[in-house]
Amino acid sequence: MNLKEMLKFADEIVFAKTGQHLDDLQEAVLRGTLQRETYKEIAKDFDCSESRVREVGSELWRILSEQLGEEVSKSNFRSSMERFQVSIYSNVAQEESVQINSVNVCGEARHPPNIPNSHPPNQETSHHDLSEMPELGAFYDRTPELETLTTSILQQRCRLIALTGISGIGKTTLAAQLVQQIKDEFEYVVWCSLDASSTLAKFEANSIQFFSQSEKQDSLATNPKTLPLIKYFQKHRCLVVLDDIHNLFSSGELAGKYKPGYEEYRSFFKQIETLSHQSCFLLIGWEQPREVTQVKNQNTSIRTLQLTGLDIAAGREILRDYGVGEIENYSALIHRYQGNPLWLKSVATLIQELGGGVTELLPYDTILLPEDLKDVLEE
């Protein structure tokens, strides 16, 4: 497809989802993406703020991801659209070849096919509480990790998965992309961000309330019987994401030691691992429970995935999106900040603020330490 055809096809997809055609800024974002412009360049061409362009782009990638059935981002927009077009017209051609003897074939140019929702949710049985899940943003080259998690959850039916890595490495972003992609495979999906007040008793009470209210909506019974939490996981196919699980653990101790008052999570996670049920828990944090760390046998229902830094190509895409992608020796800068997406975004913003001359210091192992990055490292 050429640029005009690509924009027309994207407009049809967005209209099928939202009932509205692309507005001028949305079209500018897609046009600029196809012409390999950065968000900063698109913002300058359209005479608006870069943050506004990023916000519009993020929403477009979310809509297209839902409709195309794969994760769409600024880096793979063109290839995703072309793959989807090929798959649709292949299906149409197969259907016509089967029916050619029994139907009249239209002599005019083929009409654009209706764009289906790749995973139409079952509104009668699907319940999602994703109010604490962050909005989807740019997704930088985590496709292998995304495939690993999807396989572990949907095919291997793992019950407990720990997703770990240093702050800013992209754990929550990856998990949000995963949930968006597979949520319609579950009856219940819950995202819970843990903090200092997230005792097990509070988590159980909130979860049971969510399940019981949802069941009440689906049932004619006015007062359905309230069950122990584990019973809901046995009765329904559920996906539960617990973000920032490191808030349950003591600092200054070996990883995975629970704070006083949070020890009950140990027996709860043991239940999730050992009892028969059809649900999955995804734990996200800097460290994981010791009971997960001790598991070495891959035949169990527990998995761990530790994220490391992005490669040079993905790191350069971040720098380019933040306006500093054309600097010399960019690979050394990416290595210096270990491919950490948050660190690269932070230092790229500082380079922009200090002006282009600061890039002359970069080959000399200069470490730029923005204030927000200092706070992250201190924590």
Q: What is the pLDDT of residues 324-357, one digit of tens each?
A: 767 777 788 888 889 999 999 988 888 878 775 5
Give the pLDDT confidence score for residue 273 in this predicted structure: 87
Q: What percent of the chain has pLDDT over 90?
A: 27
Sign of CA dihedral 144, 145, 150, 155: positive
Beta-carbon contacts of residue 318 (< 8 Å; ≥ 6 apart): 140, 310, 341, 344, 345, 348
The residue ranking higher by pLDDT, 240 or 123, is 240
Predicted confidence band of residue 165 (pLDDT cuts 50, 70, 90): very high
Please give the Cα distance from 190 to 194 (Å, whole number). 13
Give the pLDDT confidence score for residue 149 in this predicted structure: 94
Beta-carbon contacts of residue 170 (< 8 Å; ≥ 6 apart): 140, 142, 307, 310, 341, 342
Say which residue the tokens 């282009």 belong to.
356
Give the pLDDT confidence score for residue 104 in this predicted structure: 38
* Token couple for 104: 């009249």
Give the pLDDT confidence score for residue 122 in this predicted structure: 40
Rounded to a whole number of angstroms, the CA Rg of the chain reads 24
Q: Mean pLDDT in the chain?
A: 81
The closest alpha carbon to 194, from 206, 182, 184, 186, belongs to 206
**Sheet of strand 188-193, all strands in order from the earlier edge strand to the far edge:** 127-129, 188-193, 238-243, 280-285, 160-164, 302-306
Say which residue the tokens 């001359």 belong to.
357
Predicted confidence band of residue 108 (pLDDT cuts 50, 70, 90): very low
**Residue 19 above 60 pLDDT?**
yes
Predicted confidence band of residue 296 (pLDDT cuts 50, 70, 90): low
Give the pLDDT confidence score for residue 83 in this predicted structure: 78
Sign of CA dihedral 205, 211, 212, 217: positive
Q: Determine the number of helices (DSSP H) and then strands (DSSP E) in the chain.
A: 15, 6
Strands of the chain, DSSP E:
127-129, 160-164, 188-193, 238-243, 280-285, 302-306
Please give the Cα distance from 128 to 189 (Å, whole number). 5
pLDDT tens per residue across span 252-294: 888 888 999 999 999 999 889 888 888 999 999 998 888 786 6
Give the pLDDT confidence score for residue 290 in this predicted structure: 83
β-pairing, 280-285 vs 188-193, is unpaired
